[in-house]
Amino acid sequence: MPRIIVRGVGEFEVERGANLLEALRSCGVPIAAGCGGHGLCGMCRVRVVAGELSPPTRREAALLSGLLERGWRLACQATVLGDVEVEVPLRRARVKRRLRPSIPISTPLLLIPVRVVENPPSVEEALISELRRLGVNVRTASLRALASMAAAASRGGSDKIAVIMDGELVDLIDDYRGFGLAVDIGTTSVAASLVDLASGNVVGEEVSLNAQLRFGGDIIARIQYAATRANGVRELQEAVVDTVNSLVEKLGVPSERIYRVVVAGNSVMLHLFYGVNPRTLGSLPFEPVYRRSISARSGELGLRVNPQALVESLPILGGYVGGDVVGDMLASRILEYGTAMMIDVGTNGEVVVKKGDRLVAASTPAGPAFEGVGLSHGMMAVEGAVERVKVSWEGVEYRVIGGGDPQGICGSGYIDLLAELLRMGLLSESGRMVRGPRVREREGVLEFVLDEERGVALTQLDVRKLQLAIAAVKMTEKYLLRLLNVDVRELETVIVAGDFGYHLDPSNAMEVGLLPKVDEDLVEFIGNGSLTGAEMFMLSREAREEALRLAEACEVVEVPRHNKAFIEELKLGKWREP
């Protein structure tokens, strides 16, 4: 049988003649295919290092263009003819600068040195009495702690560190090491940070694709799978829990030393993580089953951390606006401003506007273009992607993530390109590309060539898809500003959350209309605010109380999607009015 070698993942045997996408998925390799494997979306792109596959199809030629020559294929269009080695463009773990506000640490973990002695009436009661004498209120001991007592107790006594969480003695250990795990569950990727519960410091961070991708590339596909398959919810839950478990393994600490987990994510992702069917979010009026902060023991969910660990979620605001937005608001300290706007742009984007005591939020169906999906040379923000671009009459300068040759363009690179071409007059406000330097016609379609040798380009069709994404976000921003009667000039800050925003040039985002026209100094990039908010929820009683207040105070509204208004927002360029 032929072998598939997936770089960085493993080696698998498959049937000759198997579809590469189906073969990879059957081997547990999480690879997206938003179009269901019909060669339409480009999400299942892989790079063939060596081996035997069927020749490229017409659909591959149309979607991949010059990338075919560099070894890129659509897995859904390729048939395995022999041994093959491929590289799946997973998100690389990169610890990015994230802004976590200064918060009073009120860690839920206590680490108390004790002596475990065989004293009457029992070892447990003697130890709890000793802890109470020291001023530590302990109600009971877990089964794990009892097992540790049995191993450690002696007539002479044995020195241990008692691990106490929320009034329960959960473990006896030999050193002062106890950790918490913050998790941001996105539709496409899952990020986790390891937090030292004694100090509040982040000591590790990892990112991976969400293994749920094999069930569909967007939340609607996941809802449908959960609602129509007999074991759909269980399969989706196991996939995301397996993803989190893989991140725990990568973080490199004994999993039993993780005593607290806090999870953030959009409404659908949180429902599925806890094994709750999100079908009510799939039809009018698109309401979640629950909104409150959920808690469960790790053993109930199958998480490979300490079996007594409490697994909590940030509360859901409503509709598709979930705990990730609560995390963003915590991390941004939005309550400290009089008037503010916050955006988190992704496949399922969110916008929040604050004026006085009023907070309103809405989701926006931006689609996957900002992730590079469905664009001729689009990529996620991984190594090899062009993230920054500068165009002049003398030529083009660009920056590639990780250095080296460009393999494609990520979302921030596309925003830079649109802005630069608008300034140079090579792109009209209507989105029409005009002939000029580096603009050529290929198969009847104009394209601006970024790197001629490698065929990396922005096509007219790409521009149209990006216009749709920008218009969806802009329409939501303007609607919320009008709803609260906020003039752009009143905004004290514009907060941009998420990985896409982390790479964004604010002047170029304003040039194309993705952000309102404000002083660049007012634009604040907070990185993965959802993950930061989960850390804050874990570490600070005040932050926890603020999160619950935000969930109660923030109104979730539905943005009217009138065709005439949407068409107007398709125009590229700086904002003319709120």
- Domain ranges within the chain, ordered by starting residue: 3-87, 109-173, 179-313, 334-578
**What integer pLDDT is reported at residue 92 of this predicted model?**
38
Q: Is 138 exposed, middle or buried (0-12, 13-18, 19+ CB in 10 A)?
A: buried
**What integer pLDDT is reported at residue 9 of this predicted model?**
63
For 394, which DSSP code?
T
Peptide bond preceding 285 in cis form (omega within 30 of 0):
yes
User: Residue 103, SS3?
Assistant: coil
**What integer pLDDT is reported at residue 91 of this predicted model?**
42
Report CA-CA distances (Å) from 215 to 71, 93, 126: 26, 23, 53
250: region left, alpha or beta (phi > 0 left; psi from -120 to 50 alpha): alpha
Rounded to whole angstroms, the Cα distance separating 184 from 438 reads: 41
Long-range contact pairs involving 550-554 (C-beta distance under 8 Å, separation at least 24): 550/326, 550/329, 550/330, 550/335, 550/359, 551/291, 551/315, 551/316, 551/317, 551/326, 553/357, 553/359, 554/317, 554/325, 554/329, 554/352, 554/359, 554/360, 554/361
Spatial neighbors of 383 by CB under 8 A, at least 6 apart, are 92, 401, 402, 404
Residues facing residue 72 across a β-bridge: 47
**What integer pLDDT is reported at residue 22 of this predicted model?**
84
| Side-chain-facing half-sphere of 499: CA atoms under 13 Å | 25
Task: Annotate 372-398 with b (16+ C-beta within 10 A) or e (fewer).
Answer: bbbbbbbbbbbebbbbbbebeeeebeb
**Residue 341 and residue 494 in contact, taking contact as beta carbons nearer than 8 Å:** yes
**What integer pLDDT is reported at residue 100 of this predicted model?**
72
Peptide bond preceding 2 in cis form (omega within 30 of 0):
no
| Residue 359, token pair as written in the block | 């907070």
Residue 298 sits at φ, ψ, to 5 deg, of -60, -35
CATH number of 179-313: 3.30.420.480
For 215-265, what is the HEC assignment?
A: HCCCHHHHHHHHHHCCCHHHHHHHHHHHHHHHHHHHHCCCHHHEEEEEEEE
Question: pLDDT tens per residue, the chain (578 residues)?
Answer: 899 998 766 688 899 999 998 888 777 665 665 455 677 767 688 899 999 999 999 888 888 877 888 899 999 899 999 999 998 875 433 334 566 776 777 777 788 888 898 888 999 999 999 889 888 889 889 888 999 898 888 767 788 889 998 888 999 988 878 899 999 998 878 999 999 887 788 999 998 888 888 888 788 889 999 999 999 999 999 999 999 999 999 999 999 999 999 999 999 999 999 999 999 999 888 899 999 999 999 999 999 999 889 999 999 999 989 999 999 999 999 999 999 999 998 777 899 999 999 999 999 878 778 877 778 888 877 788 899 999 998 889 999 988 888 988 988 999 999 999 999 999 999 999 999 999 998 888 999 999 888 889 999 999 999 999 999 999 999 999 999 999 999 999 999 998 777 778 999 999 999 999 999 999 998 988 999 999 999 998 889 999 999 999 999 998 887 788 888 899 999 997 54
From the list 179, 167, 145, the residue with the least C-alpha distance to 261 is 179
Q: Which is it for the CA torsion 237, 328, 99, 514, positive or negative? A: positive
**What integer pLDDT is reported at residue 8 of this predicted model?**
62
Rounded to whole angstroms, the Cα distance separating 44 from 26 reads: 14
**What integer pLDDT is reported at residue 41 of this predicted model?**
63
From the list 110, 72, 20, 39, the residue with the least C-alpha distance to 384 is 72
Residue 45 sits at φ, ψ, to 5 deg, of -65, 130
**What integer pLDDT is reported at residue 297 of this predicted model?**
93
Q: Which fold has domain 3-87?
A: Ubiquitin-like (UB roll) (3.10.20)
